Structure 1
Amino acid sequence: MRLIVKIMLLFPVLLYSQSNFEKAEKLFSQEKYALAKPIFENVIKENPNHLKALEYLGDIEGMNKSWDSAMFYYGKLKQLNPKEANYYYKYGGCLGMKAKDCNKFKALGMISDIKSSFEKAIQLNPNHIEARWALIELYLQLPGIVGGSERKAQKYANELLKISPVDGYLAKGHIAEYFERYKDAEKNYTKAIAIGGSKTTYQKLADLYKNKMNQPQRAKLVLETYQDKTKS
């Protein structure tokens, strides 16, 4: 009898918490983050281990560039569910953004944790596309003396080719563009267009023509081709 009474007393609290969560989630989907945040925080007070509410709070703090606060939530998520790849990916992303805001000496001390977070995401989810993109960017941006490497960036681009050919060719194009091999970049972006045909693929090639190859007319033609395609 006592157990039934306890369950009956707890039931309204659970309903209230769920109702609040759904309200906050709707506000989040409408990009009303400032309104959603205190409601998610109330959900956490009722249920400290509410995974989705914690993740939403981490996302909101990340959008606000409050990297330490975001990492607090993602760090807790890693503890509660250490097998979820996205928590490591998001944690590593925030750590990377924090490193960009720090002085160079302090940032160097974060590199290992940033790498291991993205690598852990891939270990947990071998098809994790975003973590590979993050590692590609990391190896491109780092000076060679502290681990920057085109070879390592290409390694993850090759992995992307197997998982998602469009991402693979976009990644290879990005790497070539970074090293000013514009003809190679053009070839890879063109392959991405042939396979995927998304707005992103056309935009990458158009940006290359306009901003790097000084060919604004070709850039315009690429975008017009995409527009004509979407109309048909």
Structure 2
Amino acid sequence: MVGRQINYCVQITKFHLNIAEISHVFLFLIMKKILILLLLFPILILAQTNFVKGEKLFKEEKFDEAQPLLEDYLKSNPYHLRTLEYLGDIAGHNKVWDKSIYYYKKLKTLKPAEANYFYKYGGVLGMKSLEVSKIKALGMIGEVRSSFEKAIELNPKHIEARWALIELNLQLPGIVGGSESKAIKYSSELRELSPVDGYLSRGHIEEYFKRYSEAELQYKRAVLIGGSKICYQTLADFYKNKMKQPDKANKVWEEYKNKNSKVIK
């Protein structure tokens, strides 16, 4: 009986020793992780600071200052969507098309349901096509068009992608897919989404084909229902550059200034 009690006590002692050893191991591992975090913390803070500073500079349009900070942040955060998009925008602004294409292509892969990534990708791809040989450009047009169409598929209310498709259909020869009827189709869709964009885009189409009376009518409708600076500017530029009527252009600007002065009062 005494032997059993001694054996039981020995087992209990071993159990407590094992618990102590396990606790010691866990404590060691926890302390090790804490130490690693403490060592990495300044690096993480620095990286985060780079992004915050870079984003602020980007929004202030100080792109040359923002770029190195965002690139540095991307090294430790290679899948950060906003950083990739900012860098794509900066590259596009600087007309470094290949780099911009790279960033937007990566964004499309990381988030294939985001319409804007396809729109921006199509935009810079289109700009690059203007700087390569005609034969190479022809091979790129299909992807440009499909990117804009994909943006609309993902976001049926995407206004900018429709504007891009209007311009694409106007600029391309019919033999490679250009089409006035398609441009008008997208303009009609715009009018359903945004009447101002609808009238402006239809005016742009009429102006392109030198149907100036109809273009003037569409631009006036945009001014009437929109009343924004861009509406007035479009009509004024039309009078000055296409109709060669600077007096009418000045009158449009005077109307805009008078309208705004009344609002301020």
Structure 2 length normalisation: TM-score?
Answer: 0.84
- 1:38 partnered with 2:68: yes
- 1:195 partnered with 2:225: yes
Per the alignment, in what secondary structure is the counterpart of residue 167 of structure 2? Answer: helix
Whichever residue aligns with residue 161 of structure 1, its letter is: R
Correspondence for 1:102: 132
1:222 to 226, 248, 252: 252
C-alpha RMSD over aligned residues: 1.5
- 1:79 partnered with 2:109: yes
Per the alignment, in what secondary structure is the counterpart of residue 113 of structure 2? Answer: coil
1:90 to 120, 136, 154: 120
- Closer/same/farther in 2, CA of residues 45 and 193 from structure 1, 3 Å limit: same
Whichever residue aligns with residue 160 of structure 1, its letter is: L
2:184 to 125, 132, 154: 154
- 1:29 partnered with 2:59: yes
Distance in 2 (alpha carbons) for counterparts of 1:14 and 1:156 = 47
Correspondence for 1:132: 162
- 1:182 partnered with 2:212: yes
Correspondence for 2:15: none
1:52 to 55, 59, 82: 82
Identify unmatched segments of 5+ residues in structure 1.
none
Distance in 2 (alpha carbons) for counterparts of 1:50 and 1:214 = 50
- Closer/same/farther in 2, CA of residues 218 and 19 from structure 1, 3 Å limit: same
Deviation (angstroms), 1:179:
0.2
Question: Could you report, residue by residue, the CA deviation over 1:52-74 in whole angstroms, capped at 9, with x for unpaired residues?
Answer: 01111101100110001000000
Question: Could you report, residue by residue, the CA deviation over 1:123-147 in whole angstroms, capped at 9, with x for unpaired residues?
Answer: 1111111100000000000001111
Whichever residue aligns with residue 98 of structure 1, its letter is: K
Distance in 1 (alpha carbons) for counterparts of 2:37 and 2:186 = 53
**Which protein has greater RCO, CA pairs closer than 8 Å, 6+ apart?**
1
Whichever residue aligns with residue 106 of structure 1, its letter is: K
Deviation (angstroms), 1:113:
0.1
Identity %: 61
Per the alignment, in what secondary structure is the counterpart of residue 210 of structure 2? Answer: coil
- 1:166 partnered with 2:205: no
Q: How many residues align?
A: 232
Correspondence for 1:142: 172
Correspondence for 1:119: 149
Correspondence for 1:65: 95
Whichever residue aligns with residue 177 of structure 1, its letter is: E
Per the alignment, in what secondary structure is the counterpart of residue 156 of structure 1? Answer: helix
- Max radius of gyration: which structure? 2
Distance in 2 (alpha carbons) for counterparts of 1:39 and 1:107 = 34
1:8 to 37, 50, 54: 37
Deviation (angstroms), 1:13:
4.0
Identify unmatched segments of 5+ residues in structure 2.
1-25
